[in-house]
A and B are shown apart, each in its own frame.
Chain A
Amino acid sequence: MKSAVVVFPASNCDRDAAVALEAITGTKPHMVWHGDSELPEVDLIVLPGGFSYGDYLRCGAMAGQSHIMRAVKEKAEAGVRVLGICNGFQVLTETHMLPGVLMRNAGLKFVCRPQALEVVESQSDFTRNYEAGQRVVFPVAHGEGNYFADDETLDRLEGEGRVVFKYAKGENPNGSARDIAGILNEKRNVLGLMPHPERVCDPLLGGTDGKALFEGLLETLA
């Protein structure tokens, strides 16, 4: 499986994503600069976490306007898998590749903690190695992860099985609508999620619950 990690100015989980990808797929991902307008031939594009453009104005807004995002959009339309983690998820909503927006956490504070999640949907390339209903723990680390969309959109997302991860009941860290932690696009090849699966791929870091996500992709795309 060939992959690429997009680096925006002030991305800061680009290395974390690359380390996890290399450990699991055995291949070093391409690191792609935001100012480039072309992407290499890959099976997976990762938009990593961080504070692209300082999170100024709105998280992900300026990164959404970068050259490379036009190319990412085209690739996504052509079916390439795209994974947006944390700031990457924010970029995906800002470019309307995923519906809704991520607003300031309801508690108004940045929150970093191990977070229990429920895998709602295992019918996707990203979650095929999990079971529906499975409880996993990924860290969250964000100030703006409060997912918002109108009821109609939320109903549709749930009805179409596109809500992939939810925060465990009663443990919503940010006020997110319907406890949503991660969603798919209509074609099911683009996933955005706030928690960090790449930070739980090494037992020394407090768990390996994130590995199955990358292993699932590897099995699909190898």
Chain B
Amino acid sequence: MTAITPELVREHGLNEAEYAKVLELLGREPSIVELGIFSVMWSEHCSYKSTRLHLKKLPTSAPWVIQGPGENAGVIDVGDDDACIFKMESHNHPSFIEPFQGAATGVGGIMRDVFTMGARPVASLNALRFGEPDNAKTKHLVSGVVAGIGSYGNCMGVPTVGGETNFHKSYNGNILVNAMCVGLAKKDKIFYSAAKGIGNPVVYVGSKTGRDGIHGATMASAEFNEDSEEKRPTVQVGDPFTEKLLLEACLELMNTDAIIAIQDMGAAGLTSSSAEMADKGGSGIEIDLDMVPQRETNLTAYEMMLSESQERMLMVLKPGREGEAEAIFKKWELDFAIIGVTTDTGRMVVKHKGEIVADMPVTALSDAAPIYNRPYVLRSPAEGQPEFDAAKPAMDSLIKLLGTPDLCSKRWIWEQYDYTVMGDSVQQPGGDSAVVRIHGTQKGLALTTDVTPRYCYADPREGAKQAVAEAYRNISAVGGTPLALTDCLNFSNPEKPEAMGEIVAGIEGMGEACRALDFPIVSGNCSLYNETQGTGILPTPALGGVGLLKDISKMATVAFKRDGDAIVLFGE
């Protein structure tokens, strides 16, 4: 038994009050595995402890919203039997350390979120923020990130149809890589993650588990690591080939009615997927780690529960349907293992080598997770002078503007992405929104990502409103009806009142604009602590918007069509 010292607790990111709560919930000292589980489930990333209170201020419903935030992705009704499933997610830190693999696995993760709900991914977008172009690292980061996104998306055969790219010194040491995936499913064929029922088999599919990306505490890691000569990497290598097989196998199984619940293993893989599925199903879950397919020898229970190996899924099947499901995964040459069962105990029980290594109430990981109302100060809009001089000839300013990295052509980026695969990209990169035809129909989805961090820096509230409005306009400009948004809230350290103020103002501003436009937020994620050496990034609440064109033959594009056509400017 590993002794749980205060130091170990701190290294797991739990403060004193949080650890006291753990002791109270368990009624005893946790095992090291349990400590690891609490550590990830109560992390900012999984629990949204700094933002949960404020996220409630966002509008999330509308008559066309089928599923708002809370599932793997949001779902909206796009007419007839069609549902559109989409989400955006950040992969900032890994992409800074290893731009190619970090960005690639970011794309892989968001695609799993979408196809785990039964959708075939039909489009990807990416919102990127880099440091100054002449910063020594920027070039390497840009080319690595773009190549990584391309490599994963292209191999998956999902067109990458749009995005945005900005450069600013505040991202020199902390780039932002936000990937959005959009999928389509039939309305009556949407899959959720609630592990309902008792005695149903819990099934693991996809790749084997290895020692990938186990953050946790350095000390605990050292103790549990066999080969200490190599520091354990915290960046995963993506395997788009396996993910493509996983996509096809999942969709094939979803054509049957064998699945009760399904969830991808994202951050904190087995831990968060099993805990969240049990929580949503109001059930308990028991898993036996000896059954988990393993890539390496001597994996400990701690490592298996915290591993972030990619390209894995957890499902609950109807009893008796295991054989049918297994045959499909075998055909696609993927691992398939029954690793547990749903129970009525309301507890999450983890066994390893015949011993119980964790046994805790499921609600301890969800409802009981900490929520903070962190102190914040709302600052007044930044003072400053515009850089351009109105007295100068307009042409000079225009030429200067066109030469800025934010406004220059992004063709160099999108030409590295296959934006024509799947044969439905009816409006390709370069316009206000991308338009992807709903396969086999005359309908199209208008897709865009937007936020202008400079505005958000000048005034977090107005900047966030502007981002919502811009997404709305970009969709309208191609002839789409704006329907819903996903978001990726990239901010700095919530423990600093100034930064927390940016978060609060940003969320409130977004909420206000969304309500005014009837443009709800149906999914999203928060990425906090984006700072280097005490300096935060510009507040960057990135938005991904989805709209519908009922008839793509009426689509508008940016290109001027004919000599002699009138040019009209409208709006204020």
The reply to whether A and B meet directly (CB within 8 Å) is: yes
A35-B28 Cα distance, complex, nearest whole Å: 55
Stretch at the interface among A13-21, A163-171, A175-183: A13-21
Task: Determine if A51 and B552 form an interchain contact, defined as CB atoms under 8 angstroms apart.
Answer: no
Tell me if A160 is interfacial: C-beta within 8 Å of chain B: no
Within 8 A of A (CB), among B403-447: 414-426, 428, 437
Task: Determine if B420 and A112 form an interchain contact, defined as CB atoms under 8 angstroms apart.
Answer: yes
Task: Determine if A109 and B422 form an interchain contact, defined as CB atoms under 8 angstroms apart.
Answer: no
A109-B413 Cα distance, complex, nearest whole Å: 10
A204-B244 Cα distance, complex, nearest whole Å: 27
Question: Which one of B155, B157, B437 lies within 8 Å of A204 (CB-CB)?
Answer: B437
Chain B interface residue bracket vs A: 20 to 34
Q: Which residues of A contact B428 (CB under 8 A)?
A: 206
Stretch at the interface among A39-47, A53-61, A68-76, A149-157: A53-61
A204 and B415 in contact (CB under 8 A), knowing A10-B245, A16-B421, A109-B147?
no
Stretch at the interface among A118-126, A185-193, A195-203: A195-203
Question: Which one of B244, B416, B419, B437 lies within 8 Å of A109 (CB-CB)?
Answer: B416
A25-41 interface mask toward B, CB cutoff 8 Å, 1 = contact, 0 = none?
00000000000000000
A196-B242 Cα distance, complex, nearest whole Å: 25
Tell me if A113 is interfacial: C-beta within 8 Å of chain B: yes
Tell me if A95 is interfacial: C-beta within 8 Å of chain B: no
Q: Which residues of B contact A20 (CB under 8 A)?
A: 423
A110 and B552 in contact (CB under 8 A), knowing A9-B333, A51-B241?
no
Task: Determine if B423 and A205 form an interchain contact, defined as CB atoms under 8 angstroms apart.
Answer: yes
A143-B426 Cα distance, complex, nearest whole Å: 23
A145-B428 Cα distance, complex, nearest whole Å: 22
Task: Determine if B420 and A199 form an interchain contact, defined as CB atoms under 8 angstroms apart.
Answer: yes
Tell me if A98 is interfacial: C-beta within 8 Å of chain B: no
Q: How many CB-defined contacts (below 8 Å) exist between A and B? A: 85
Tell me if B150 is interfacial: C-beta within 8 Å of chain A: yes
A156-B283 Cα distance, complex, nearest whole Å: 71
Task: Determine if A9 and B154 form an interchain contact, defined as CB atoms under 8 angstroms apart.
Answer: no
How near does chain A come to B422, taking the closest CB pair, in angstroms? 7
Task: Determine if A110 and B240 form an interchain contact, defined as CB atoms under 8 angstroms apart.
Answer: no
A19-B241 Cα distance, complex, nearest whole Å: 23
A9 and B241 in contact (CB under 8 A), knowing A16-B423, A199-B423, A205-B426?
yes
How near does chain A come to B125, taking the closest CB pair, in angstroms? 15
Task: Determine if B423 and A202 form an interchain contact, defined as CB atoms under 8 angstroms apart.
Answer: yes
How near does chain B come to A88, taking the closest CB pair, in angstroms? 14
Q: Which residues of A contact B420 (CB under 8 A)?
A: 112, 139, 141, 196, 199, 205-206
Task: Determine if A111 and B416 form an interchain contact, defined as CB atoms under 8 angstroms apart.
Answer: yes
Task: Determine if A12 and B244 form an interchain contact, defined as CB atoms under 8 angstroms apart.
Answer: yes
Q: Which residues of A contact B414 (CB under 8 A)?
A: 112
28 cross-chain CB contacts under 8 A = A9-B245, A9-B333, A10-B157, A10-B240, A10-B244, A10-B245, A13-B157, A13-B421, A16-B422, A16-B423, A50-B157, A51-B155, A51-B240, A54-B155, A54-B240, A54-B244, A110-B147, A110-B150, A110-B416, A111-B416, A112-B416, A112-B417, A141-B418, A141-B420, A199-B420, A202-B423, A204-B552, A205-B424
Known contacts A53-B241, A112-B420; 17 additional CB pairs below 8 A are A9-B241, A9-B245, A9-B332, A10-B157, A10-B244, A12-B157, A12-B244, A15-B422, A51-B155, A54-B155, A110-B147, A112-B415, A112-B418, A112-B419, A141-B420, A199-B421, A205-B424
Chain A residues at the B interface, C-beta cutoff of 8 Å: 9-13, 15-16, 19-20, 49-51, 53-56, 109-113, 139, 141, 143, 196, 198-199, 202, 204-206
Chain B residues at the A interface, C-beta cutoff of 8 Å: 147, 150-151, 154-157, 239-242, 244-245, 332-333, 414-426, 428, 437, 552
